[in-house]
Amino acid sequence: MGRNTGQWRRSGNGHLIALLLLLTLLNLAVFQFVAWHDGEQAADSARVQSDVGGVRVVRQLATAQPATAVLPECQPLDKVPLVPPHPSIFPAGFSEMQWSLARDRYAVLLQQTVEPVTQGVAGFKDIHTYEHHGVLLPLLQNTAGGGGAAVVEPGATPQLSAKLADCYEKELHLSEYNPDIYTRLKEHVGSAEFCDPEDADYTPSKDFACLAYLRNPANWLALKPLSSLLTSGRTIKFLLSFRHGNVTAVVKLPQDKFGLEPASETVAFHMDRLLAFRRAPPTAWVQIPVDYIKAAAASLGPFYVHWVESAVFMSKRAKAVISKCEDSRLINLLGRTNPKCILVSVQLWMWDVHLAEQSTFAGDMLLHQPVARRRSDNGKRGFKVAPGGKGDEWMEELLGSTNNHADTRRGNGTPLSPTHHLLTRERWDQMAFDAIISNYDRWKGHNSYVLAACAPTLPCHAGRAKRLYERPSKSTPRFVYIDQGSGFYSSGIRNISVFSPSHQPQFCYVHRPTVERLEQIALFAMRLSNYSVPTRDGVPRIASVVNGVIAEEEMKRVGDAVYRCLLLPRLPPKIGMVLSHALIKAACRRVWFILAHRTRCLEMNASTTIF
């Protein structure tokens, strides 16, 4: 009997083990399906949470797969044949004063008496006459990150071949917003450092190489103040010249009345790439020695020195990002105890850039008179705002003419030009981007720039001819997003934005490819955050409800997901010391407003134009 019982137990244990094994396999299959569904491409890597500056961040763990996994047939940029760099030759030359002498002169000039430095000083002269390229900076040893020897000579550019061009094209179709893909593409660059101001066909690998080049102090040649006009509220900024290829960049600092400017430029660049607009020039967050800034300022005399001292070095936000220089080469050079550096934005100066109304786009902009500056919707005097309503009438007329003449012919029988259609798409995208980053300092005639859109018969040609070292762009005509320094000041969306639900008249034009792309990115972020994804008629859809508690909660979830999972992991350190993370997160929420604009128009306006 006992023997039979033992046989039953052994048999029962076997059945139990088989059942447990089956359940384990089923659980594993369910887990794999859920991981694929919720994480999609990001399911390869686990997600961890960490606190950065008091903010909860969702990060991707490094994967075991090599960087070539995303571009299997493409070599890293530092492994392809390279074109040696050409030394910069700036026709205007440089100041004869050594940077160290100019730095010491700063303290002397600061003791001199000048008229009060205020925005209303009438005697301040426009600095257009300052022709040379500034104070020469010291030559540093070119090393990788201030440590070991560089693998590739900075400034050397990859030799463009059919295979490399194909790799660049493949990059454009990858989901750069996916943190895992973004990290692998960064690894794919290797030690390459170069910027090409002729090339606006931005890809992640070109961006990484350019940001590395801009950050490396051994590549810096000279620093000069850019033209400024204090009476009109222009900001203090500098032009940084580089040692290779006549590359230059604009340096912006935190300062009185424009405290967010450098951080706004930097975050706007990352937002531009994250949302795949790819229209902002590469913009790095860089430590520059305070002594370099003082030396360049001293070359303009006592008034400029007092302006820099009071507006920059005495400002609260600038003080927050002044700290010990981290690059060992700068520490050795400056030769002081704890030499100080300040965090600034450094944006590549693109070539062949012109105001839109002076370019080939001008004929299709209907040549309305520029909109006069006026008060903003909050009534503050002197704050420049982008036009809403009447100010964007030219845009509504442009889109309206496209809609009314869908047979591609104007009322007078003239076919609509390809430039007309291009302008429509480019300007709509720019308006959407500005709404997201809350940039109200751009309108027709002000900060509206285009690239590769000049001709010998146009006003832009004369300006380009004066810039002797510039060459025409290798890219096709497009808008270029320059000067986002006034972005991110608002937590909501202002009524003057055409994407505001309160904007009148209703602006019911929708650029389908852009809206669908933004929705795809928002849905990816929602899944990565384990938020439930809303559906409409069985299809995932963001902002299908645009009013009430449901809409409010969804807007917050979209903003949180885009911010934590996609944007924050790619932002440089200490950016929040200038631009609060609350304002950055508010910009991520405004992605929802663009999608809600589509829903609102489709449901409430029968004449909505989708193009």
Count of residues in the chain: 611
The set of residues, in sequence order, having a beta carbon less than 8 Å from that of 78 and lying 6+ positions away, is 151, 152, 189, 190, 191, 192
- pLDDT computed for residue 130 by the predictor: 59
- pLDDT computed for residue 469 by the predictor: 85
N- to C-terminal Cα separation, the chain: 84
Q: Which is nearest to 217 in space by CA: 281, 157, 334, 137?
A: 137
Which residue, chain included where needed, has tokens 């071949």? 161
Which residue, chain included where needed, has tokens 């940039």? 439
State both tokens at 507. 């602006």
Q: Which is nearest to 350 in space by CA: 487, 452, 458, 223?
A: 452
The set of residues, in sequence order, having a beta carbon less than 8 Å from that of 331 and lying 6+ positions away, is 324, 325, 339
State both tokens at 329. 């080469």
Q: How far apart are CA 366 and CA 97, in angstroms?
A: 49
- pLDDT computed for residue 299 by the predictor: 87
Let me know: does 446 contact 354? Beta carbons within 8 Å. no
- pLDDT computed for residue 535 by the predictor: 86
Domain positions in the chain are 94-116+132-139+158-350, 355-370+391-402+416-607
- pLDDT computed for residue 525 by the predictor: 98
Q: Is 536 helix (H, G, I), strand (E, B) or coil?
A: strand
- pLDDT computed for residue 55 by the predictor: 40
| φ, ψ dihedrals at 241, nearest 5° | -95, 145
Let me know: does 384 contact 441? Beta carbons within 8 Å. yes
Separation in Å, CA 326 to CA 70, 148, 149, 322, 571: 33, 15, 18, 11, 18
Q: Which is nearest to 453 in space by CA: 469, 431, 476?
A: 476
Q: How far apart are CA 65 and CA 598, in angstroms?
A: 39
- pLDDT computed for residue 57 by the predictor: 39
- Find the helix or strand (DSSP H, E) in which 56 lies: strand 55-60
Quote the strand ranges of 546-585, DSSP E: none
The amino acid present at 599, given as its one-letter code, is T
- pLDDT computed for residue 415 by the predictor: 63
State both tokens at 95. 């100041």
**Model-level pTM?**
0.84
pLDDT along the chain (611 residues), means of 10: 38 58 59 42 35 37 53 93 94 83 95 75 52 86 56 92 96 94 92 97 98 98 80 78 97 94 98 98 99 94 90 96 96 90 99 93 62 40 39 64 48 66 94 96 87 92 83 96 95 91 88 97 97 87 95 97 98 96 98 97 87 88
Q: Which is nearest to 215 in space by CA: 326, 87, 81, 100?
A: 326
Question: From the CB of residue 611, how many other CB atoms can be counted at a distance below 10 Å?
Answer: 15
Q: What angle do CA 89, 91, 96 make, to 5 degrees?
A: 90
β-strand partners of 448 = none
